[in-house]
Structure 1
């Protein structure tokens, strides 16, 4: 993926890694359109960061994904990069059936959302030169955090999805890039003050550097995530799972 000269659409770009990446990409010389559910928050972002564009989108609404994607394609016809950033992470207690509503919400946001975006954008992106569809998985796709089982499962599915569609896009103009964050200091699961999580700006620094130095990369793996990503290959899986299990 080239690092500059793109028009980038980022559903889920209103906070955390999504907003940070949007601002870094804008600073690198890209036109950036962020999307999210809350119009007031989008207005605030546009006001505070001149040049950022915005549009309201709830990626859990399949009709909205189709309609808003079509509007973005009409208003910003140079769009050649889509970053499927929107995601939620919530703990679940599976010892009773009450977790099901939470699990279904996580699947809808984290897995169906990116799949619906892919369906809405696949033909358009193939018409654009130097295009990219960027997915966001997690180090927890490789070793699960037991208190968030459905989140882990959706991120493992996103990894597999990325691998599969990358093969199908071979020979087209569309590159599939998978961001694989470790725990990062954002509000996701209340990690903004977690000293064991990676500072957001450090994650963004390393991610942007990797995108620039590895334009053909399939995965963007910062050093901190390799503790999880390489655990099974290095024979550390059981030990890492035990660490993530804590008192369980």
Structure 2
């Protein structure tokens, strides 16, 4: 993926990693179209950043994904990168059936959202020059956190989809890149004051540097995520899972 000169559609760009990536891509000479549900945040971000446009979209709603994707394709026909960022992470207690509503919401946003987005963009992006699909999984896709089983599972699914989509899209002109964050200080779960998580700015700077240095990479792995990503290979998965379980 080239690091500049793109037009990027980034649903989930109003906070956390999504907003940070949107602002850094815009600063590097890309046009970025962020999407989100809260108009006040969309207005705030576009007012503060040249090169960022916005649309309202609800990635938990299939009709919203379909309709807004058509609008973006018509307004910004040069769009060549799709980067679905929207995601939710919630604790679950699976010792009773009360976790179901949370689990269904997580699956709808984290898994069905990116699948529906790609379905809405596949015909538009395939064959386009310098096209890319950038997916976002998690270190917990590889070493799960007991407190968030459905979140972990959706991110494992995103990893599997990324690998399978990459194989199917070989020769189509669409590069598939998987971003794999560790715990980062965002509004997910413990929030920006979680001392055990990676500072957001530090994560964003390392990720942008890796995207620039590794334009053909399949996965973007900051150093902090590698123990989780390679825990099974390194024979440390069970120990890390127990450590993670004990830290919450």
Establish whether residue 100 from structure 1 lines up as the match of residue 104 from structure 2. Answer: no
Name stretches of at least 5 consecutive residues in structure 2 with no aligned partner. Answer: none
Gaps of 5+ in 1: none
Tell me how far apart the structure 2 counterparts of residues 127 and 9 of structure 1 sit (CA, whole Å): 17
Note the alpha carbon deviations across 1:199-244, whole angstroms, 9 max, x for none.
Answer: 0111111101110010000000000000100100000111101111
TM-score when scaled to structure 2? 0.98
Moved >4 Å (runs of 4+): none
State the SS of the aligned residue for 1:54.
strand
CA contact (8 A) 2:127 2:174 kept: no
Deviation by residue 1:158-193 (Cα, 9 ceiling, x = unmatched): 000000000000001100000000000001112310
Give the C-alpha shift of residue 128 in structure 1. Answer: 1.5
Question: Counterparts of 1:6 and 1:86 in 2: how far apart (Å)?
Answer: 20
1:157 is aligned to 157
- Cα deviation for residue 51 of structure 1 reads 2.8
Q: Is the 8 A contact 1:90 1:189 kept in 2?
A: yes
CA shift for structure 1 position 127:
3.7
Structure 1 counterpart of 2:187: 187
Give TM-score, length-normalised by structure 1: 0.98
Q: How many residues are matched? A: 248
Q: Alpha carbon RMSD of aligned pairs, Å?
A: 1.0
In structure 1, what is the Cα distance between the partners aligned to 2:55 and 2:198? 29
Distance 1:25 1:43 in 2: 18
Contact 1:191 1:197 in 2 (8 A): no
Kindly indicate whether the alpha-carbon contact (under 8 Å) linking 1:13 and 1:22 is maintained by their aligned counterparts in 2: yes
C-alpha distance in 1 between matches for 2:34 and 2:20: 11
Q: How far 1:52 sits from its partner (Å)? A: 1.1
Q: 1:46 to 1:159 in 2, by over 3 A?
A: same
